[in-house]
Amino acid sequence: MKNKIIVILLLIFLSQCKEKEETLFAGGFIGGTYDTMAKSLQDIPALKVKVVNSNGSLDNINLLLDQKADFALTQVDMYYSAKLGNAAIHQKTAILLPVLQDEIHLLVNPSIKKVSDLKGKKIAIGHSVSGIKATSISVLRLCGIDFDQIIAMELGPEEALPKLLNQEIDALFIVSGLPVKILSALPESSSEKIQLLSLDNSVLDKIKADNKVYQRSIIPEKTYVWQKESVNTLQVQTVLLARKDLSAKHVSTFVNGLFSNLETLISAHPEWRGINQTSLKEKLTVMPEFFHPLVKAKVK
């Protein structure tokens, strides 16, 4: 009987050790770039990743604060804004790596030809805890449209896209790296129901002059089979965050695992190619106070 108890206790101990080795990674909305990138990490057994469901950037930050995730992806504009209003974010989280540039997709009913046409329209701006909401409100404001001039719908892309296709709403924002899976899944005939709105050069120049967070970008023609022309838009940096209370060994093992399996990750999702030493050094020079102490100590 005594031996049986010892065996049971040993099994419990081993199971607890196994759980502690698991890395919790917060991604994003189903079918989005964050979600597919997070799931691709599960193809690397050494990383021992379990994906945590999430509504996006702010949700990911909160999951880190609540210790429900170890690492997460978030938009840097959302991270910067959140840090200004919550001292705990600076104390408990930090950037490990710049990962990718997210393109701002402004999808509209084909009757909408320019940004000013969005006044008075129903626009899906993302969940309340998503980076999409923060970015959409910011971009609309920079384009000269105040929040009270639209009918804002707090819907994520997976909920909003069918509504746009059915003309229940007039526009929606998706902030994600190219290509967005749920948009790639649409047939060519979708061009009769939705379009990507191209931002005017005057608007893009004004935003670039007033705000350093967003950079000009292009969504090339036929990125999606229903997209006939290239689209002028903006992009915002996505970064990899970590909890500061994780052990140095845990953080180092995870980061080293990313770099040593980079080719496999890139083959699973091309946006992983944004992880590189050059990009890291550039961003570290611009905003060192945002980065994890371990990164600052190792990068010279």
pLDDT band at residue 18 using 50, 70 and 90 as cut-offs: very low
Instruction: Using a pLDDT cut of 90, give the percent of the chain over it.
Output: 57
Question: How far is Cα 60 from Cα 250, in angstroms, rounded to an integer?
Answer: 19
- Which stretch of 55-59, 149-153, 170-174, 179-183 has the lowest confidence by average pLDDT? 55-59
* pLDDT for residue 2 is more than 60: no
Confidence of residue 74 (pLDDT cuts 50, 70, 90): very high
State the pLDDT confidence band at 8, using cuts at 50, 70 and 90.
very low
Q: Could you read off the pLDDT of 122-178 as tens digits, one per residue? A: 999 998 877 888 889 888 988 889 999 999 999 999 999 999 999 999 999 999 888
How far is CA 133 from each of CA 55, 126, 139, 281, rounded to the nearest angstrom? 11, 5, 10, 29
Mean pLDDT calculated for residue range 50-57: 90
The chain-wide mean pLDDT, for the chain, equals 87
pLDDT of residue 62: 94
pLDDT at 12: 45
Given a cut of 90, whether residue 287 has pLDDT beyond it is no
Lowest model confidence (mean pLDDT) among 82-96, 178-192, 203-217: 203-217
56/299: higher pLDDT: 56
Closest listed residue to residue 47, CA positions, set 23, 69, 68, 28: 23
Cβ-Cβ contacts under 8 Å for 57 (sequence gap 6 or more): 28, 73, 74, 75, 78, 79, 130, 131, 132, 134
pLDDT at 112 over 60: yes
Supply the pLDDT for residue 49: 96
Give the CA count within 13 Å in the CB-facing half-sphere of 288.
9
Q: Map out the domains of the chain with their CATH numbers.
A: 2-101+239-298 (3.40.190.10), 102-236 (3.40.190.10)
Kindly state the average pLDDT of the residues 21-45. 89
Return the higher-pLDDT residue of 35 and 21.
Answer: 35
* Type of residue at 223: T
Digit-coded pLDDT (tens) for 270-284:
889 989 888 888 888
